[in-house]
Each structure stands twice: as structure tokens, then as C-alpha cells.
Amino acid sequence: MSTLRVDNIQKEDGSAVITDGVIPSTILRGSNVGMVKLNTTDITSSTATIVYNSTLITDDYDQYMISYQGLNPVSNGVKFRSRYSTDNGVSFETGTFNYGYHYARLGSSSEAGGGTTKTDYAESEFTSHSTIADMQSGMFSIDGLRDATLNLHIRHEFVQRSGSGGTYYNVAQEGWQYPKSVVMNYIEFSFDSGNFADGTFTLYGLVK
């Protein structure tokens, strides 16, 4: 259960909820708190995937945001990606993700953008670096998971060192659109090769 750790919280009607420091997410949502922290995953050793299952991806929230920092793969030159499930990870959606990106190179006037399609995964065109000091940090915004009438929209903003080529540092935005008519309840993050070495990921739900 997601919680906010405080001594008390004042509700809109002026009354207060006095607790021992833990306020359940049901009370937070009822008090019109807009964003609720649902989970933090701290990777400290080689890990293949990061998952958010049906206990976290529910109809309580319209939109999900994932903030991360300190992200490093075990190996250079791998691409960050995600995929989605309607049955809590038993099987995964397959098909075409429409993809676009734009980036600027830090300390340089160089910038570029483009678009393509991705198959089965919402996969980045950017490669990640394994050097701890050159960790990647960013934010995902994911819309449409819980509404069968909406397509899936994924937006990703981040700062990183390129994991291939020269020593390039980028700030970038990228997005994916996946046509669908289903309700999803599971997100899996991975690299296209190898494991996560480090990283802290925090999942938030935006209240309806």
C-alpha cells in the first residue's frame, strides 16, 4: 500500500487525520492529493528487469510517472526499453510503437531529431553508459494504460552520456505511441542486452 509519512494531514473540510506517521493512499486520494508515491525500487546489484504489476497499476490513477536517477547498465552501448501486459506479465503486447525523438548535445550547438517505428518494445534510440559518474537520470510519463478507448502514450525526458561513439553528453526527449483497445496492468523495463547495474526508480500515480 502506498503511503505518505507525516504526523497529520488537514483535509479540505478543515478536519485533520492524525496518524502514527503513515497515511494510506485511499485517504490521500480522498483528500485531493494530486500525486501519490506508489513504489521505490533501488537497484544495487545486477538485475535483469524492473517491473510494476497489477497491485500498483490500477484504476485509481489516470496517469503514471516514473522518476529515476543513477541509472547504469552493466555494459556500454545498450538501449533502455519497456513493454506492457494486460494479464500481469503472463504475456506481453506485441506490435508497432510509433517513435520520435529530439536531443541537444550538452556544451555544443549540435542538435537533431528523427522518428521511426519499434517492434514489441518502446525502445530508445539512445545508448546508455556504464560509468557510474556518467549515470542517466530522467522521467517517464505514461498515459492510457487503464483506458481501453485510449492509445498508449509514453513520454521520456532525460540527461545521459552516450554509451557508444565519442564522449557525448545529451539532453533528450522521446516519445512512443502504441495503438490499442485493451486495459494494461503491468510495465516491464529492461535493456536490449544485459542487466541493470545501478539505479533508483520511483513510481507515482496521478489521481483521477
pLDDT tens profile 73-96: 999 999 999 999 999 999 999 999
The predicted pLDDT at position 34 comes to 72
pLDDT tens profile 141-168: 999 999 999 999 999 999 999 988 778 8
Can you give the pTM of this predicted structure?
Answer: 0.85
The predicted pLDDT at position 1 comes to 47
pLDDT tens profile 106-141: 999 999 999 999 999 999 999 999 999 999 999 999
The predicted pLDDT at position 208 comes to 73
pLDDT tens profile 46-71: 999 999 999 999 999 999 999 999 99
The predicted pLDDT at position 8 comes to 55
C-alpha cell at 189: 523495463
Residue 4 has pLDDT above 90, yes or no: no
Q: What domains appear along the chain, each with residue ranges and CATH number?
A: 1-33 (no CATH), 35-207 (2.60.120)
Name residues whose C-beta falls within 8 Å of residue 71's C-beta, 6 or more positions apart in sequence.
Answer: 80, 128, 135, 136, 137, 138, 196, 198, 199
Residue from 51, 88, 81 nearest 194 by CA: 81
Confidence category of residue 32, pLDDT binned at 50, 70, 90? low
